[in-house]
């Protein structure tokens, strides 16, 4: 089985979010970048398939050269090879079209992406990629088993879970639950050394247009100070929630 894991290169969850150039660009100054957490769950599941069922695992990112350390980290965790499509990830549709090309050229059976990236939260690349490559699609995936070309997947729905049967080729959008938190791997020294020798191929983008443009960013308005209520005066809390906040 050939697996492709889509890796988004995102600011660490503790990053301060600021913008530059008249609020048109994310300010990367002092920001640490990591593998998107939803993609890390997927990469970990891919490693499981590789070790337990035999599979090759490539990772891919659409982005500039600055994303290569993130791809190297995925190689250090255990992926066999990496591909970087050399283009700025302008919008979800554009990224999906680039990934579709990689999937077609590489003949992948299973593509594992993340539910959403934690920077732009588009949540559209996996579904678009599935449709562009004519693959089956399971979103919000919290469990995946593969047997030959058959697959059983569970997805989180509003208020519960749904189990379905499907087959390869398949694209899933993974999230927490796909693997146990304790199964996530931190690259070790040997992995890091080996990653340096693994292939990281840079390919040029295909001609494709973006359908949306992020024109400006703004930060939420600063919040007023908290109103403290004494622990012996819970009546007052109920009163405030009813008369002032009007939420009960």
Partner 1 sequence: MSVLVYTESEQGKFKKAAFEVASYAKEVANQLGTTVTAVAINADNTAELGNYGVDKVLHVSADSLKDFNAKAYASTLHQAVEKENAKVVIISSSADSKTIAPILAVNLKAGYASNVVAAPTSTSPFTVKRTAFTNKAFNMTEINSDVKIVGVSNNAFGLVENSGDAAAEDFSPNLDDSLFGVKVDSVDKVTGKVTIADAEVVVSAGRGLKGPENWGMIEELADVLGAATACSKPVSDLGWRPHGEHVGQTGKPVASNLYIAIGISGAIQHLAGINASKVKVVINTDPEAPFFKAADYGVVGDAFEVVPQLIEKLKEFKANNA
Ligand X SMILES: Cc1cc2nc3c(=O)[nH]c(=O)nc-3n(C[C@H](O)[C@H](O)[C@H](O)COP(=O)(O)OP(=O)(O)OC[C@H]3O[C@@H](n4cnc5c(N)ncnc54)[C@H](O)[C@@H]3O)c2cc1C
Tell me the closest approach of the beta carbon of residue 37 to ligand X, in angstroms: 5
Please give the residues from 68 up to 97 whose contact with partner 1 meets the rule CB under 8 A.
Answer: 91-93, 96
Q: Which residues contact 45 (CB under 8 A, 6 or more apart)?
A: 112, 144, 174, 178, 179
Instruction: Pick from 86, 194, 208, 217 the residue near partner 1 by CB under 8 A.
Output: 217
Instruction: Pick from 7, 79, 137, 146 the residue near partner 1 by CB under 8 A.
Output: 137
Tell me the closest approach of the beta carbon of residue 179 to ligand X, in angstroms: 14
Instruction: Pick from 2, 50, 176, 185 the residue near partner 1 by CB under 8 A.
Output: 176
Q: Which residues contact 21 (CB under 8 A, 6 or more apart)?
A: none
Q: Strand 81-85 to strand 9-11: parallel, antiparallel, or no bridges (unpaired)?
A: unpaired
Tell me the closest approach of the beta carbon of residue 241 to partner 1, in angstroms: 7
Which of 123, 110, 226 minimizes the C-alpha distance to 170?
A: 110
Please give the residues from 32 up to 71 whose contact with ligand X meets the rule CB under 6 A.
Answer: 37
Examine residue 13 and tell whether it contacts ligand X (CB under 6 A): yes
45-53, 68-76, 135-143, 188-196 -> range binding partner 1 (CB under 8 A): 135-143
Instruction: Kindly report the number of other CB atoms within 10 A of residue 92's CB atom.
Output: 22
Nearer to partner 1, 80 or 91 (CB): 91
Please give the residues from 14 up to 73 whose contact with partner 1 meets the rule CB under 8 A.
Answer: 14, 17, 19, 26, 37-38
Tell me the closest approach of the beta carbon of residue 3 to ligand X, in angstroms: 23
Tell me the closest approach of the beta carbon of residue 5 to partner 1, in angstroms: 17
Residue with tokens 């988004």: 8
- For partner 1 (CB under 8 A), the number of binding residues is 80
Examine residue 241 and tell whether it contacts partner 1 (CB under 8 A): yes
Tell me the closest approach of the beta carbon of residue 189 to partner 1, in angstroms: 27
What long-range pairs does 164-169 form, CB within 8 A, spacing at least 24?
164/138, 166/136, 166/138, 167/136, 168/1, 168/109, 168/110, 168/135, 168/136, 169/108, 169/109, 169/110, 169/111, 169/133, 169/134, 169/135, 169/136
CB of 118 closer than 8 Å to CB of 99:
no
Instruction: Pick from 21, 147, 181, 204 the residue near partner 1 by CB under 8 A.
Output: 181
Half-sphere exposure of 124 (CA within 13 A, CB side): 11
Instruction: Kindly report the number of other CB atoms within 10 A of residue 65's CB atom.
Output: 9
Instruction: Pick from 47, 130, 179, 195 the residue near partner 1 by CB under 8 A.
Output: 130
CB of 226 closer than 8 Å to CB of 108:
no
Tell me the closest approach of the beta carbon of residue 36 to ligand X, in angstroms: 10
Q: Could you list the residues that contact ligand X (CB under 6 A)?
A: 13, 37
């Amino acid at each position: 089985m050939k697996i492709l894991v889509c890796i988004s290169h995102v600011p660490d969850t503790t990053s301060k979010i600021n913008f530059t150039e008249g609020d048109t660009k994310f300010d990367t100054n002092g920001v640490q970048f990591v593998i998107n957490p939803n993609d890390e769950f997927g990469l970990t599941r891919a490693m499981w398939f590789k070790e337990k069922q035999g599979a090759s695992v490539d990772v891919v990112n659409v982005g500039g050269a600055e994303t290569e350390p993130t791809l190297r980290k995925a190689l250090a965790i255990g992926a066999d090879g990496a591909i970087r499509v050399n283009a700025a990830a302008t919008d979800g549709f554009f990224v999906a079209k680039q990934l579709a090309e990689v999937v077609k050229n590489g003949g992948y059976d299973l593509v594992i992406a993340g539910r959403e990236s934690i920077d732009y939260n588009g949540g559209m690349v996996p579904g678009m990629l599935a449709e562009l490559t004519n693959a089956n699609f399971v979103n919000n995936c919290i469990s995946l088993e593969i047997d030959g070309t058959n697959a059983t997947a569970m997805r989180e729905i509003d208020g519960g879970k749904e189990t379905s049967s499907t087959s390869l080729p398949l694209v899933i959008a993974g999230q927490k639950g796909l693997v146990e938190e304790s199964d996530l791997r931190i690259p070790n020294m040997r992995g890091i050394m080996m990653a340096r020798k693994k292939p990281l191929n840079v390919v040029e983008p295909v001609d494709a247009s973006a359908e949306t443009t992020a024109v400006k960013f703004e930060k939420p308005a600063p919040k007023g100070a908290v109103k403290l209520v004494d622990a012996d005066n819970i009546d007052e809390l109920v009163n405030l929630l009813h008369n002032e906040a009007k939420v009960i």
